[in-house]
Amino acid sequence: MPEHEADGQLATPTHEVRDFLHRRREQIAQRWADEPLFRTVFTVSRDEAVEAGKVVVDALAQVADSDQVEDPDAAGFSEVREQLSRMGAARSRAGLSNTQVSSELAALRPPVENLLAADLEQAPPEHLRACSTTLTVLMGTLRLVAMQSALSEWQALSDRQRMQLLEVATPVIRLWDGIVAVPLIGTLDSARSQVVMETLLNAVVDQHARFAILDITGVPTVDSLVAQHLMKTVAAARLMGAQCIVSGIRPAIAQTIVHLGLDLDVITRASLADALGYALHELGADIVNPGAGQR
Amino acid sequence: MHTAAGVEACLPIRSDMDLVWVRQHVRQAAARLGFGLVEQTKLVTAASELARNTLVHGGGGQMEARHVSSGATQGLRLAFSDEGPGIADLDQALSDGYTSGGGLGMGLSGARRLVHEFDIESTPGAGTTVRVTCWAAQPPRPREEV
Ligand SMILES: Nc1ncnc2c1ncn2[C@@H]1O[C@H](COP(=O)(O)OP(=O)(O)OP(=O)(O)O)[C@@H](O)[C@H]1O
Ligand SMILES: [Mg+2]
C-alpha cells in the first residue's frame, strides 16, 4: 500500500486526477500524438502534435484544479477552445462527419484512462473507481467543448457563405438600352430582397433604365411576404421612373397566388422573352419574329 | 407505392432559417406521398404562411408533420403550434387583409383557401395551434369549413 493512503490522506478524486495530469503530461501527449485526431491534424512534425497535446492536458488539469470537471464553460477550457475548434474544422474539411469527429475525440480517453489505472494500481479499488469516473466526466466535458467550438465554427462558415450568396446571386443584366433584368434565385427572404432592391435601383439609375424585369423562375415559393417584397421593389423602381415587369410565374405558382388571394399589382409575363418583347414594344423597338406571325 | 418514410417530423420554428427547413420538408414529404406539383406548391405556400405566423406573431414554436390516409388516398397533416399571445378575435384574424402588424393580412385566410382541411385553436395568453390537411388526390370527404 503506498504511503499516501494513510487514513484521511486520500486526495479527492478531482485533485488526484489533477495531480495525475500534471505528472503524466508528457506521456499523455505522446500517446495522443498517435491518435488520428492529433496525427492527421499536425502533419508537419510529431513534436508539434505532442506540444498541442500538452496544452490540452494543461487545460484539463486547470479545470480539475478548479473543481469544474462537469462545466464546459470552465475558465480552464478557454485556452484550448480555439485550438480544438481548429482541429475539429480541419477534420471536417478532410470530409469527416460531426459524428466521426466526435468519435475521434472519444478515442482520446482510453489512453489516459490506462495510464491512470496503472498509476493507481495500488490504491483502494473504490478510490480508483472514483478517480476513473472523474476522468471520464472530464474527458466527456472536453469532448463537448470541442464539439461546441467545431459547431460554432461551422455556423460562422455557413453564415459567411450565406452572405456571399446574397451578393453574387443578384446580378443585374442589361438586356437592351433602357431595359435591365434581375433573375431571382432561391429564397426571397427579407435580407435577400433588400439586396435585390438596392442592386436593381442602382442599375436603374446607372443605366437610365425605363424597364426592369424581375424574373422569378428560380423562386420556389411565392407567399405573402415574397409578394410584399416584390411589390415594394416595384413601387421603388416606379419612383425612379422605371416600370417593372414580373416574369417567370410558373403555372403552379400562378394558381397558388390566386388561391392565396394576392393581387400582384404589376405587369406580368409568362417568360423573360415575353417580358423583353413587351418592353421593346413599349420603347418602340419591335422585334419582328419571322416564324410566329404577329406578336 | 408511396411510402411514409421521411414524412413524419417535428421541426422547430425559431428563425428565418427554420422556415426554409419547414418549406423543404413539406415539399419533400408531399412529393413522397404522390402530391402533384400544384398541390405541393399550394401546401408549401400554406406552410410557409403558417410557419411565419408561428415565428412572427407566436414568438416561435414548432411544426409537426403526420402522414394520414383514407382508403387509397394519401394525405399530409401539419400542425403549427406556439405558446405566444394567442388570437382574441379569430373571425377578424381570418378575414382577408386584416393584419396587426405591417403584413398584407393574407397569410391566415390565404392558407385556409390553399388546403383541404383547416382548423385553428387559440387561447389568448396561452398560444395558437393551426392544423391543416392536404390530400394527394381529391379530398376523400366533404370539405370542412371552419
Ligand atoms: N400564431 C399566431 N399567434 C398570434 N397571432 C396570430 C398568429 N397567427 C396570426 N395571428 C394574427 O392574425 C393576423 C392575421 O394573420 P395573417 O397571416 O393573415 O396576416 P399577417 O401575418 O399580419 O400578414 P401576412 O399577409 O404577411 O401574413 C396577424 O396579423 C396576427 O395578428
Ligand atoms: Mg402572416
pLDDT digits (tens, 9 = 90+) for A91-103: 877 888 878 888 8
Ligand 1 closest atom vs CA B100: 29
Is B145 inside a domain boundary?
A: no
Ligand 1 closest atom vs CA B102: 22
Percent of chain B residues topping a pLDDT of 70? 91
Is B65 inside a domain boundary?
A: yes
Q: What is the mean pLDDT of residues B92-104?
A: 92
Residue A28 clears pLDDT 90, i.e. is over it: yes
| SS3 category, B126 | coil
Q: Using most ligand atoms within 8 A of CB, pick from B53, B78, B123 the residue to mutate for ligand 1.
A: B53
| SS3 category, A135 | helix
Calculate how close chain A gets to B55, using CA atoms only, in Å: 13
Least confident range from A138-142, A148-152, A265-269, B7-11: namely A148-152
Taking the CB of residue A48, how many other CB atoms lie within 10 A of it? Answer: 14
pLDDT digits (tens, 9 = 90+) for B7-32: 999 999 998 888 988 999 999 999 99
CA distances from residue A95 to A41, A66, B57 in whole angstroms, order as listed: 13, 36, 40
Q: A180 falls in which pLDDT band (50, 70, 90)?
A: very high
Interface of A with B in 273-292 (CB under 8 A): none
Is B141 inside a domain boundary?
A: no
Domains of chain A: 13-164 (1.10.490.70), 173-282 (3.30.750.24)
Is B4 inside a domain boundary?
A: no
Q: List b or e across A66-78, with b for residues whose CB sees 16 or more CB atoms inside 10 angstroms.
A: eebbeebebebbe
pTM: 0.65
pLDDT at A183: 86
Residue A6 or residue B48, greater confidence: B48
Cα torsion B121, B122, B126, B128 to 10°: value is: 70
Q: How many domains does chain B have?
A: 1
pLDDT digits (tens, 9 = 90+) for A267-295: 999 999 999 999 999 988 776 655 554 44
pLDDT at A59: 95
Q: Which of A88-92, A138-142, A143-147 has the highest mean pLDDT?
A: A138-142
Mean pLDDT of chain B: 91
Q: B3 falls in which pLDDT band (50, 70, 90)?
A: low
Is B143 inside a domain boundary?
A: no
Is B75 inside a domain boundary?
A: yes
pLDDT at B67: 95
Q: Is B85 in the pocket of ligand 1 (CB under 6 A)?
A: yes
Residue A191 or residue A121, greater confidence: A121
User: CA quadruple A143, A146, A149, A155: dihedral positive or negative?
Assistant: negative
Nearest to B24 by CA among B63, B59, B61, B82: B63
Nearest CA to ligand 1 atom 31: B100
pLDDT at A193: 79
pLDDT at A83: 86
pLDDT digits (tens, 9 = 90+) for A249-263: 999 999 999 999 998
Nearest ligand to residue B59 Cα = 1
Asked whether the beta carbons of residue B106 and residue A224 sit closer than 8 angstroms, the reply is yes
Pairing of strands A173-176, A179-185: antiparallel
Asked whether the beta carbons of residue A260 and residue B96 sit closer than 8 angstroms, the reply is no
pLDDT at A238: 92
pLDDT at A5: 46
Percent of chain A residues topping a pLDDT of 70? 89
Tell me which long-range contacts A175-178 makes (C-beta under 8 A, separation of at least 24).
A175/A213, A175/A276, A175/A279, A176/A276, A176/A279, A176/A280, A176/A283, A176/A285, A177/A283, A178/A207, A178/A208, A178/A209, A178/A210, A178/A211, A178/A283
Q: Is B90 in the pocket of ligand 1 (CB under 6 A)?
A: no
Residue B141 clears pLDDT 60, i.e. is over it: no
How many A×B Cβ pairs under 8 Å?
64
Burial class of residue A98 (count of CB atoms within 10 Å of its CB; 0-12, 13-18, 19+):
middle
Q: What is the mean pLDDT of residues A28-32?
A: 95
Question: Is A194 within 8 Å of chain B by CB?
Answer: no
Q: Residue B88 sits in which domain range?
A: 9-135
Nearest CA to ligand 1 atom 17: B107
| SS3 category, A267 | strand
Calculate how close chain B gets to A95, using CA atoms only, in Å: 24
Q: What is the mean pLDDT of residues A240-245?
A: 94
Return the amino acid letter for A293: G
Q: What is the mean pLDDT of residues A88-114?
A: 87
pLDDT at B72: 87
Q: Which residues are bridge partners to A59 per DSSP?
A: none
Sheet holding B73-82, edge to edge: B9-13, B61-70, B73-82, B127-135, B117-123
Q: Which residues of A touch B38 (CB under 8 A)?
A: 251-252, 255-256
Length of chain A: 295
Q: Is B70 in the pocket of ligand 1 (CB under 6 A)?
A: no
Asked whether the beta carbons of residue A261 and residue B38 sit closer than 8 angstroms, the reply is no
Calculate how close chain A gets to B3, using CA atoms only, in Å: 24
Residues near B16 by Cβ (< 8 Å), separated by ≥ 6?
A189, A190, B55
What single string gives the DSSP state of each residue in A186-243?
S---HHHHHHHHHHHHHHHHHTT-SEEEEEEEE-S---HHHHHHHHHHHHHHHHTT-E
Question: What is the CATH number for B64?
Answer: 3.30.565.10
pLDDT at A81: 87
Q: Which residues are bridge partners to A244 per DSSP?
A: A212
Calculate how close chain A gets to B38, using CA atoms only, in Å: 5
Nearest CA to ligand 1 atom 20: B105
Q: What is the mean pLDDT of residues A129-136?
A: 93
pLDDT at A2: 46
ipTM over 0.95? The verdict is no
Mean pLDDT of chain A: 86
Ligand 1 closest atom vs CA B110: 18
DSSP label at residue A288 = P
Burial class of residue B40 (count of CB atoms within 10 Å of its CB; 0-12, 13-18, 19+):
buried
Q: Is B104 in the pocket of ligand 1 (CB under 6 A)?
A: yes
Residue A83 or residue B75, greater confidence: B75
Q: Which three cell numbers stand for residue A222?
A: 411565392
Is B140 inside a domain boundary?
A: no
Residue A90 or residue A8, greater confidence: A90
Question: Is A259 within 8 Å of chain B by CB?
Answer: yes
Q: What is the mean pLDDT of residues A136-149?
A: 88
Q: Is B51 in the pocket of ligand 1 (CB under 6 A)?
A: no
Instruction: Select the residue of A190, A223, A261 nearest B48 (Cβ to Cβ).
Output: A223
Is B44 inside a domain boundary?
A: yes
Asked whether the beta carbons of residue B16 and residue A190 sit closer than 8 angstroms, the reply is yes
d(CA B66, CA B8): 5
pLDDT at A164: 60
Q: Is B53 in the pocket of ligand 1 (CB under 6 A)?
A: yes
